Structure 1
């Protein structure tokens, strides 16, 4: 008699006295062949987590091993698609079973009947190394799909098909390795989702991931190949911030993982992405996006796998030579899935019931980011941006604290900013980026040598305002001298006129670095001029009261420049500089 189910506890299934399973092997459970994975083996029992609903599963049901780990199918057709946590295509599942997924509905991840226009890059007799490209095809109007020799395989081309139409499982190259064994290379390959794909070499981080969001690009930049966390309580705009980054960042490919989020949020993502036009190419944004949706009502074990599925797809496109950004929304729901499964396994809980291995799992995920040289010799990167949803906006809880240990960019969302409609609601006092020094040379060469100096002065004003506001709370603002009141007024202008950004305004939703620099320069030009006027060092030759400067309305006037100047008309900022000089001279 074969292996059968002994007990069922939610998504956790045990098999007694089984000796033919391996750790992390993919298995089929029950008559409906539910997909599962071996997560524990002892002499007495084998423990399996099932990635589908186990409702109706009973002891005695058969369990079949596959001899292989849970793997993602990688090939043309991934982009523009939407998958669940174990890479099943949701549009096809909906056609087959309606809005709710039937258990045991195992469909191929890629359309095996669709034909692709393939161009071969190798000839008979050539020697191929691992990671080398042997065929290409246009996957979308924006992205060329590059079929690579799987890692660990090298050999001589025995035969190569001609250019033409092929399906993903058609053999296009026959390779013979050093041992004389022949390998058929098709347009697709499989890779275990929990195993990082090998790379040629890790490279130093030298360039930023440009997002067009001023508070990020100027104050708290993230590098290509970097990691960032977006922690925030309910309603602070985590998902909205990630949507903006997915739309506008200068990565070649976006992998968006909706991990345990509400179904209506994922619906909004799908609807928005399908309507958006890529600003660089004019093509639909979905042409360079893949979505992985594992909503809160889907099986909890698949939520745990969705993060690994997403990062494996990202690594595959990175290995082709693309810069990839992966949005994980939210890693807290992923950690909760770990906690639930850990509880069913009766493991010893650590802080707040999370398993003791939570930090190592978080680090394993974020460590798969980086700027690298691929096996094929191309420079590419994966940038990971993970949202964290601490209960009650408590940043001292385990997921936020452990994430903070492994990321170098921390964008802390503030509910008080969100409630005042200040978006992105990133608190400039609680956030930080450790990439600024690494990117200094790039900013100096591409954004102007004054960029970082202006940034430093802007941050100095914000920090100084934070100190002054403590005094104001105690004894009021009347006791402050005009030069300190000026700092508060300038910081208010920075907050409302620079850091606050309107995602729905065509001139403000995305702002290039040259415009960000000119906005900083105009604000600081006003600050320096007003400071000189207050201290009597200006053209007036006598001290001017701050109240007189405020009455001119120049501060409120400058808050509107972000809307009034298009991204391609930066010369109009000269008019603002002239207006500042004119107002101050008139005093």
Structure 2
């Protein structure tokens, strides 16, 4: 029986229905004659409150609200990768075909192509016992990723009527499941899953291996683990989106889900165009072959912005359950928090700090807690890593969204306006950023990169911290009065900043740097420091050391040594030895 109610009040995207028609909490409903998509967000005997994911202009009291009987869900099947969806998983390409450049209100299109036939290889046979998560078939979704058709998490039983290998649509029955109570359930490639409910797993693993990004400041100084969480806060123009683009292109995740949440429409258009042109460095094909984009721009309805985050998360968890490592780029969680604030205001809830709702912290924690490195129901390993951009107004990191985000993430990459304006990319400041994963990842670095990696990192950070302390003195009394050993610290810190931390996204050798080269670069810089320190200890003035080109030579390593030319580092060590010996001979 279809449950219906009548609208008696409208406040922007918030609709009020008189009494209790019998809707369930979080149920998806269709509002008005245009059948606008909405969700039940509050229930009482006197009224039902619904948030509508589309523009409510033209709605009037008395129009009908029809319940669907199900929660807001996403459709999970082959065809997700390479697609571009809005906040409630409607494909923008299909919408454009039906209604042009703008999304018509109440437009109803299927989330995935139901007519396309996929080459399907069955991995089970009649009589096999299966449980939730068991892979029953595989489909080559793209050149980069194989889609694994799984039993829904809440089902188990015995398989029969398995179809032969061949081409099938996502809605064709490929097997029948007889559950333990004797019911027969037809199985297709499609699953539906409510976006606000985390998908189940068997167990959570500790964060013991890094997500390698090829960005030196991230991999070396502030690493993130697979299944970890990171925040990228920064004011306007500091490079949040650019940083996420670089990570999306180069990180060693199997799949990227990019959620454009409340960003400017023209910026999102640029993201969509850029991603479609980018080449995947792993396969040489388009990066879209392992990317899904969810676009919900600032001019789209505010309620759908709030849902888009959960839509992206659920898609990520689905691919994690297949045994893949998924990285989510959420750009930006501040716009999502602003959507919460607007809806909270419409509902006349008591505001907390800066007008945000009192439940802001719990919503942020629930979002980031869905990250993790898991053992899936089918015994495979998969992870969801969440990297959320934060856009504090005026670059003020003390505002509520940034402060609450810091409570729930273990990696904080603080973008600095002065670095960005000085064209220092990535503009991540080494003094305001931190990573709590370093201790967990140390055994991995020692095993896979070298035992010197973490000690070198520690020394590099110590030199940068010392430089900051010395700069405070320099501001007061100038650099001339510093002793030579402190002048050397300033010079080596300059080499670290320009030669190691600063990275050129457009240079073939510098846009991505493997960990082995990162270690060699650190060792070379510290070897130069040790030799110079020995010379200073012999009372040689810093001005004499600066006359040599050796410091500029070491800065240029990032361009002059290719990622597969690590033997060249021996030449730089020889050059440093020659520089040391030359000065020793001249001043003997």
Normalised-by-shorter TM-score class: over 0.9
Q: Secondary structure at the match of 2:5?
A: coil
Question: 1 CA distance for matches of 2:494 and 2:505?
Answer: 20
Task: State yes or no: 1:561 paired with 2:561.
Answer: no
Question: What is aligned with 2:502?
Answer: 500
Q: Secondary structure at the match of 2:69?
A: strand
Question: What is aligned with 1:540?
Answer: none
Where do residues 248-397 of structure 1 align in structure 2 (5 Å cutoff)?
248-397=250-399
Question: What is aligned with 1:104?
Answer: 106
Q: 1:548 aligns with which of 528, 544, 547?
A: 544
Question: 2 CA distance for matches of 1:273 and 1:367?
Answer: 28
Q: Contact 1:130 / 1:375 at 8 angstroms: preserved in 2?
A: yes
Question: What is aligned with 1:574?
Answer: 570
Question: 2 CA distance for matches of 1:290 and 1:520?
Answer: 36
**1:444–1:2 Cα change, 3 Å:** closer
Q: Contact 1:324 / 1:382 at 8 angstroms: preserved in 2?
A: yes
Q: Contact 1:549 / 1:584 at 8 angstroms: preserved in 2?
A: no
Question: What is aligned with 2:446?
Answer: 444
Deviations 1:392-439 (A, max 9, x none): 110000000000000000000000000100010000000000000000
Question: 2 CA distance for matches of 1:480 and 1:86?
Answer: 61
Q: Secondary structure at the match of 1:441?
A: helix
Q: Secondary structure at the match of 2:160?
A: strand
TM superposition shift of 1:19: 2.9
Regions of 4+ moved over 3 Å: none
Q: Secondary structure at the match of 1:3?
A: strand
Q: Secondary structure at the match of 2:42?
A: strand
Question: 1 CA distance for matches of 2:44 and 2:21?
Answer: 9
Question: 2 CA distance for matches of 1:61 and 1:494?
Answer: 65
RMSD, aligned CA: 0.9
Deviations 1:435-484 (A, max 9, x none): 00000010001111111111111001001111111111111111211001
Question: 2 CA distance for matches of 1:429 and 1:204?
Answer: 27
TM superposition shift of 1:110: 0.4
Question: 2 CA distance for matches of 1:199 and 1:2?
Answer: 36
Question: What is aligned with 2:54?
Answer: 52
Question: What is aligned with 2:25?
Answer: 23
TM superposition shift of 1:274: 1.4
Question: 1 CA distance for matches of 2:419 and 2:74?
Answer: 41
Question: 1 CA distance for matches of 2:283 and 2:79?
Answer: 20
Where do residues 149-168 of structure 1 align in structure 2 (5 Å cutoff)?
149-168=151-170
Question: 2 CA distance for matches of 1:221 and 1:282?
Answer: 26
Question: 2 CA distance for matches of 1:78 and 1:104?
Answer: 22
Deviations 1:308-365 (A, max 9, x none): 0000000000000000000000000000000000000000000000000000000000
TM superposition shift of 1:250: 0.3
Question: What is aligned with 1:219?
Answer: 221
Q: How many residues align?
A: 581
Task: State yes or no: 1:583 paired with 2:585.
Answer: no
Question: What is aligned with 1:539?
Answer: none
Task: State yes or no: 1:197 paired with 2:199.
Answer: yes
Question: 2 CA distance for matches of 1:556 and 1:340?
Answer: 53
Q: Contact 2:4 / 2:67 at 8 angstroms: preserved in 1?
A: no
TM superposition shift of 1:95: 1.1
TM superposition shift of 1:579: 1.1
Q: Secondary structure at the match of 1:517?
A: helix
TM superposition shift of 1:158: 2.6
Question: What is aligned with 1:11?
Answer: 13
Question: 1 CA distance for matches of 2:357 and 2:369?
Answer: 20
Q: Contact 2:20 / 2:44 at 8 angstroms: preserved in 1?
A: no
Q: Contact 2:4 / 2:21 at 8 angstroms: preserved in 1?
A: no
Where do residues 520-539 of structure 1 align in structure 2 (5 Å cutoff)?
520-536=522-538
Question: 1 CA distance for matches of 2:565 and 2:108?
Answer: 54
Deviations 1:166-223 (A, max 9, x none): 1011110100111111111101110000000000111111100000000000000000
Deviations 1:218-269 (A, max 9, x none): 0000000000000000010000000000000000000000000011221222
Q: Secondary structure at the match of 1:479?
A: coil
Question: What is aligned with 2:586?
Answer: none
Question: 2 CA distance for matches of 1:264 and 1:564?
Answer: 37
Q: Which runs of 5+ in 1 are unaligned?
A: 537-542
Question: 2 CA distance for matches of 1:585 and 1:390?
Answer: 52
Question: 2 CA distance for matches of 1:391 and 1:105?
Answer: 35
Q: Contact 1:30 / 1:61 at 8 angstroms: preserved in 2?
A: yes
Q: Contact 2:224 / 2:411 at 8 angstroms: preserved in 1?
A: yes
Question: 1 CA distance for matches of 2:570 and 2:299?
Answer: 54
Where do residues 126-205 of structure 1 align in structure 2 (5 Å cutoff)?
126-205=128-207
Q: Contact 2:215 / 2:512 at 8 angstroms: preserved in 1?
A: yes
Where do residues 211-250 of structure 1 align in structure 2 (5 Å cutoff)?
211-250=213-252
Q: Contact 1:501 / 1:508 at 8 angstroms: preserved in 2?
A: yes
TM superposition shift of 1:18: 2.6
Deviations 1:347-388 (A, max 9, x none): 000000000000000000000000100000001111000000
**1:178–1:482 Cα change, 3 Å:** same
TM superposition shift of 1:2: 4.4
Question: 2 CA distance for matches of 1:522 and 1:157?
Answer: 61
